[in-house]
Amino acid sequence: MFEVRLDDVHQRAATGVLPPDLLVDDLIRDAHRRYATDDEGVVADYIPILGRAEPSDFGLALVDVAGHAHEAGDVQRRFSLQSVSKAFVFALACERIGHAAVHANVGVNNTGLPFNSVIALELNDGSPMNPMVNAGAIATTAMIPAGSAEARWDIVLDGLSAFAGRELALDEEVYESESVTNHRNRAIAALLQSYGRLDEDPLESVDVYTRQCSLAVTAHDLAVMGATLADGGVNPVTGHRVVAADVARDTLAVLATTGMYETSGEWLYEIGLPAKSGVSGGIVAIAPGKGAVGAYSPRLDAAGNSVRGQRACAHLSRSLGLNLFASVARDEREEIG
Ligand code: GLN
């Protein structure tokens, strides 16, 4: 019989290492410099307060699994977490109710449609399809077991703070601005309820979801949160385990197929990393076993992904050898457009 020794398996599960710290510092600064004057894309304003973001802001951070930060630009600028929260709340839900329950109730396939699509629900018998679109995220948040919406919010806030390694706080202005304009999300929640896919009160479920989207974070925070997934669920800065290793792995699998909305395929093709973006301009891209990049720049493409953030991640994926599908670390191809 063919014998597999555990040591061998662990060695083969390794995905390689980052270059030395000083080189990572240089490459982050280089990626920042390259795209700092790129002014393609538009700042989102369908949530009115997001339109007040400074378009030229640009922060780029990489936190590795040793907990070291490598940064350039506006890495301490605060912005709201928005859809990036979906990735981490999904992990918190999986941790509490298990991989199979989330799969059965929410799904893990790409809708191929925008994040706030109502048609996607109608076309799929009310199934949200995945936890990274609004319908799936509202359903996922509502599945976290708790006695009340307030208790559920406490779990979400504590969990997201553990990912970030600091106590996160609500940006009250964003919460207010989104709460008075989120008619579409309320319609999505009502539709979920009509299909029997939401056990909790729809308005309360949207409210907890809106709060998670309104948490104030920085590009540095995103990198720490992502590095926790890269490190098998242990926050490499605080040393605390936030979720189990298999939950971190499952979260990354979902991010690879759905994290960048309907352009997740193009992202994976060019960059080769699980990632999640948010409409305020944040992106977290995770290199399992190595670390994560947190990017912030508020000008977005048509799908709602930060233009500079995507370009910087594409460049870093190549210069740092992060692409999960590459059998050779360096890729000298031209930049993507
Ligand atoms: N809170 C936003 C919404 O529900 C999040 C969307 C996003 O970041 N793509 O529309």
Q: What is the DSSP letter of 268?
A: H
The residue to which tokens 């948040």 are assigned? 141
* Inter-residue contact 104 to 160 (CB < 8 Å): no
> What's the CA angle centered on 287, arms 283 and 290, to 5 degrees?
125
Q: Note the pLDDT of residue 335.
A: 52
Overall average pLDDT of the 104-127 stretch: 88
Pocket of ligand 1 (CB under 6 A): 82-83, 115-116, 134, 178, 185, 213, 278-279, 304
Q: How confident is the model at residue 333 (pLDDT cuts 50, 70, 90)?
A: low
Q: Note the pLDDT of residue 259.
A: 96
Q: What is the C-alpha separation between 233 and 266, in angstroms, rounded?
A: 27
**307 an active-site residue?**
no
Q: How confident is the model at residue 108 (pLDDT cuts 50, 70, 90)?
A: confident
* Inter-residue contact 59 to 295 (CB < 8 Å): yes
Q: What is the DSSP letter of 228?
A: H
The predicted-structure confidence for 11-41, as pLDDT tens digits, reads as follows 555 567 899 999 999 999 999 999 999 999 9
* Inter-residue contact 206 to 180 (CB < 8 Å): no
Neighbours of 56 (CB within 10 A): 13
Q: Note the pLDDT of residue 64.
A: 97
Which of ligand 1's atoms lies nearest the C-alpha of 213? 1
6-79+218-336, CATH topology level:
Beta-lactamase (3.40.710)
**86 an active-site residue?**
yes
- Smallest CA-to-CA distance from 224 within 235, 240, 212 is with 235
Task: Give the class (CATH, top level) of 84-213.
Answer: alpha beta
- Smallest CA-to-CA distance from 22 within 73, 68, 76 is with 68
The predicted-structure confidence for 150-189, as pLDDT tens digits, reads as follows 999 999 999 999 999 999 999 999 999 999 999 999 999 9
User: Does this chain's domain 6-79+218-336 share its CATH topology with 84-213?
Assistant: yes
Interhelix angle 84-97/202-213, nearest 10 degrees:
120
Domain ranges within the chain, ordered by starting residue: 6-79+218-336, 84-213
Overall average pLDDT of the 247-251 stretch: 97
Closest-CA residue, ligand 1 atom 4, reads 134
